[in-house]
Amino acid sequence: MPFRAVLLDRDGVLNVNRPDHVTDPGQWQWLPGATTACARLTDLGIAQLAVVTNQSVVGRGLLSECGLRRIHDRMTEDLAAAGVPRPVVVHCPHLPETGCPCRKPRPGMLLRALSRLGVAPAEALLVGDHDTDLEAAAAAGCWSLHVRTGRGQLEALRPGCLGSVADLGAVAELVAGLRTAGWTPDCRRPDAPDPRPDPHEGALL
C-alpha cells in the first residue's frame, strides 16, 4: 500500500464545516460521499484511519469533553454502519493563543495519533481542508492532500503535499491509483521539492 495510515481532519473533510460549530450530535452533517470514501480507503488495505481535529470550542466553554465524545460516538457509529473500523480520534481542546504543541499547525496531535497506530510519519497521509493541516503534516513528516470541501482553495504547497482534490472520494481514488501504479512513500521524500509551478493544477501522481 502507498500508505499505512490516513489521518483525517474533521470539519470540512468528513462533515460540513459549520460557522457556528458542531456542538450537538444532531448538528453533525456528513459531507456527500464521505462515509463511502472512508470505506473505500479501508477496503484498499490501509491499516487504520485516524481523525485529528482542533476543537477549541471545548476551551471556549461552548462544548464539554463529554459532549464532544457524544459527537464522535455518532461519527464512529455512522462509520461502523458503512463497514469502517473505529478510527483513532485525537483532538486538541485548547485556544490558539495557548500555544499548545498539539494544536495544528503544530504536529503534536498527528504524532500522538501515529504513535497509537504504530505507524511512522513518512508512511502516513494527512487529509485536510486548510493550510494549518498541511503545515502540521509537514512538521510531522507526513504526506498530505488538500480537499476543497471545507475552507476553499489551496493557497500554497507545503513539503510533502501531493496537491489539491475535490473531496474525500477523490482522495480514495488517488490512493487507489497510487497503489495500481506501484507508488510507495520512499518513491519521493515528503520534503522533496514539488515540480509543479501551480498548486491548483491537481494532485501529483
| pTM of the shown model | 0.90
- Domain positions in the chain are 5-188
Q: Kindly report the number of other CB atoms within 10 A of residue 122's CB atom.
A: 17
Amino acid at 54: N
Q: What is the pLDDT tens value at each position of the chain, 205 positions in all?
A: 789 999 999 999 999 999 999 999 999 999 999 999 999 999 998 868 999 999 999 999 999 999 999 999 999 999 999 999 999 999 999 998 888 999 999 999 999 999 999 999 999 999 999 999 999 999 999 999 999 999 878 878 889 999 999 999 999 999 999 988 888 876 555 554 443 334 344 454 3
- H or E element that contains 133: helix 131-140
- Show which residues are catalytic: 9, 11
Report whether 125 contacts 8 (CB < 8 A).
no
Q: What distance in Å separates the CA atoms of residue 117 and residue 83, rounded to the nearest whole number?
A: 19
Q: What is the CATH number of domain 5-188?
A: 3.40.50.1000
Q: DSSP string of 33-90?
A: THHHHHHHHHHTT-SEEEEEEE-HHHHTTSS-HHHHHHHHHHHHHHHHHTTPPPPEEE
